[in-house]
A and B are shown apart, each in its own frame.
Chain A
Amino acid sequence: MEKLIEQLINGLTVGSFYALIALGYTMVYGVLSMINFAHGDIFMVGAYFGYFTITQLSNNGFSESHPVLAIIFTFLAGALGAALTGVTVERLAYRPLRKASRLATLISAIGTSIFLQEFVRLIPKFGEILASLSIAGKTIFPPSWGNAIIDVTKTFGGAMVKTYPGLLGTDGIRLGEVFISYSRILIMAIAIVFMVLLFILVRYTKLGKAMRAVSEDKDTAALMGINVNRIISSTFFIGSALAGIAGVMIGIFYLQIKPTMGFTPGIKAFTSAVVGGIGNIPGAMLGGYILGLAEVISIQFLPAVYKDTVAFAILIIMLIVKPTGILGGRDGKNKL
């Protein structure tokens, strides 16, 4: 029994990650009806921005003197970095295809995904090239700058696994036989806070109203004086920021980040969004938790290798029973 409860808590933690990432998928889908395949990689970029910040902060001792502030800065950097990446990607790779078929956008998204992964992996190499750029035998940057560029780019990317400094202890609370670490509680709390914030934003603010209008009908929304491009950019900004936060959370909680880390969580989060009814914000959260729990529950009955098989089987059964997802609209139309 205690084991089961511990497993359920594990499931909820994993579910929190899926849910946070799924929100980005679902928001973009709601507004543009496109599968943003690069979303998992934007999550990865967020983790690297966070890593860069936290290593800089711990190098000069700031994170020891102000641990809470350091964590907040890290989250901010991760969220902002991912958000800007998301907006840039939308502007350069998706907006020119707004009028094209959705499948064309899907390919563009896949290209973006490959590009982002490889770019982050190659950043140190670019740094070296930049530092050694020279005109007429003289490097453009003085050697001290060159070294600084190499140092910065080395912390920012590369093929090797990067390790976040351990910020959270392994302490926790014990409820009877069940042990819950504080870090797990923190992760779940952060996820819930952001999901509630997002829900409020979409439901009760002017921006949210505009988003819902755009998701309902872009042309009509434009006629009503809504700047559709701006709303789409804001959607990407918010969705990517949430992914960035999830990326930093992965770094803080599991310590390890690498350029290919976005793929698996990306697919799982996408699945969650569909299970919940893609385009639907509470649905994405629900889907994330359902998937997280399904994975741990399956391990109770089957060997662990069947975990993902079970998760996908649940997905298929669920869609056969309710073809538009749990909270999806009646006719498969998707609105925020």
Chain B
Amino acid sequence: MNKFKSTLITFFSKPIVRNILITIALAALLSLPLFDFPQKNLWVRIIGYAGLYIILGMGLLVHVGFAGMFDLGFAAFYAIGAYTYAFLASPHFDIHLPFWIVIFIAGSIAAVVGTLVSIPVLKLRGDYLGIVTLGFGEIVRMLLMNLTKITNGSQGIIGLDKPTLFGIVFNKGTHFYYLIFAVIVVLLIVLNRIIHSRTGRAWLAMREDEDVAQMSGINTSKYKLLAFALGAFIGGLGGAIFAAWQGSIFPDNFNMNVSINILCLIILGGLGNQYGVILGAMALIALPDILRGLSDYRMLIFGLLLIIMMILRPQGFLPRKPPQLENCDSKPTTKQKEVQL
């Protein structure tokens, strides 16, 4: 039995097998909306919505997973992105900029806010950083709620513009499904490049031991700001896509549960890499929808499953590998290092 299991593991860890499997999965996901089956729109919606959380999860992963900064207020950047879109592409101020420009503005504004916020809190670590970001997230939501003249308060902004591309108006779930898919692919490539760059290595060093990193000449403040800005940018991007998709936004869409959900999904994914985020989002965001058949027991079961998943696999689905030199065959000898924050 054990032998069988280990053969299976070796089989699946072969790069070629894995790549084929991943490619098949990708092709299946991509072609899903092309088939016509009764619950198509529902599945496009569920997977697309999980995809939105993959984008958000990647943003938070830059904060928590890459740079080791505990962030409990990620919904703030999501909200900033969404409201930026609502201001710039809706009848609210009667400004109608094209979606493709606004998403970059939304991301940039979120990044600027993220940087400004992170400057004073750079020296905070661990849970203290967590609680400051939690406070920040709540403050943003409350400002959206109460600056009624600008944001229309709790009544939200409705009738947002739909994106258009080559004359196609994005008014169906399928359109957003592909949009989100494309954004995820771009993010995967970009993040992959960044991790293997000097910046990525600096983050890695910082996450493992901030003091040592600093002593080895890494400008930790600079890299922290960079991480904060990049993560926030991705969050803002996600917010703009969400706003365009839903067509109406309310401050309540960005409450603390959203931040907690995003954090949960990246931890569930293993905090290790971008691919873990995908598994985490599929499990965490799609699961409550898949459990809909359980009617009002579904959240009870969901809570229980969270506990069980953590107990069975405390390191997450795809745990972070210990740092190792590239192109070097040496196997790590020590037990896998657990995620430390």
Contacts and interface: CB of A to CB of B under 8 A. Distances in A.
Main secondary structure of the interface of A (DSSP, over half): helix
B138 to A, nearest CB: 5
A320 B339 contact: no
Contacts of B121: 316, 319-320
B314 A100 contact: yes
A103 B307 contact: no
B9 interface: no
B311 A97 contact: yes
A259 B296 CA distance: 14
A175 B261 CA distance: 49
Given A101-B340, A104-B315, A114-B299, A315 B306 contact: no
Contacts of A125: 296
Contact of B132 (A101, A306, A315, A324): A315
Name, among A107, A110, A267, A271, the residue most crowded by chain B CB atoms within 10 Å (CB to CB): A107
Contact of B126 (A115, A116, A309, A332): A332
Contacts of B281: none
B131 A315 contact: yes
Contact of B264 (A29, A107, A313, A325): A107
Interface in A100-125: 100-108, 110-119, 122, 125
Nearest to A33: B127
A324 B315 CA distance: 28
A93 B138 contact: no
A249 to B, nearest CB: 25
A35 interface: yes
A115 B300 contact: yes
A93 B307 contact: yes
A105 B314 CA distance: 8
Interface in A287-331: 303, 305-306, 308-309, 312-313, 315-316, 319-320, 323-325
Main secondary structure of the interface of B (DSSP, over half): helix
A92 to B, nearest CB: 8
A110 B306 contact: yes
A125 B300 CA distance: 13
A71 interface: no
B144 to A, nearest CB: 11
A312 B126 contact: no
Contacts of A97: 310-311, 314
Contacts of B303: 111-118
Interface residues of A, number: 48
B260 A110 contact: yes
B143 interface: yes
Contact of A303 (B146, B267, B304, B316): B146
A92 B267 CA distance: 20
Contacts of A105: 310
Nearest to B266: A103
A108 B311 contact: yes
Contacts of B305: 111
Nearest to B284: A107
Given A110-B260, A111-B310, A306-B146, A118 B299 contact: yes
Nearest to B138: A312
A45 interface: no
Contacts of A267: 134, 256
A104 B314 contact: yes
Contact of B315 (A100, A122, A306): A100
B139 A313 contact: yes
B124 interface: yes
A274 interface: yes
Interface string B125-147: 11110111011101100110110
Given A101-B338, A122-B297, A107 B135 contact: no
A250 B325 CA distance: 57
A249 B315 CA distance: 39
Nearest to A116: B303
B260 to A, nearest CB: 6
B138 A111 contact: no
Contacts of A271: 131, 134-135
Contacts of B341: 101-103
A114 B291 CA distance: 15
Contacts of B120: 320
B273 to A, nearest CB: 16
A117 B297 CA distance: 12
A270 B130 CA distance: 11
A176 interface: no
B310 A305 contact: no
Contacts of A111: 302-307, 310
5 contacts: A100-B338, A101-B315, A115-B303, A305-B145, A306-B146
Q: Which 6 A-B pairs have the closest CB atoms?
A: A111-B306, A100-B314, A114-B303, A115-B303, A312-B135, A118-B300
Given A102-B341, A115-B300, A270-B131, 13 more contacts: A100-B338, A101-B315, A103-B341, A104-B310, A107-B268, A110-B264, A114-B306, A117-B303, A274-B131, A306-B142, A315-B131, A319-B128, A324-B128
Interface of B: 120-121, 123-128, 130-132, 134-136, 138-139, 142-143, 145-146, 256, 260, 263-264, 267-268, 271, 296-297, 299-300, 302-307, 310-311, 314-316, 338-341
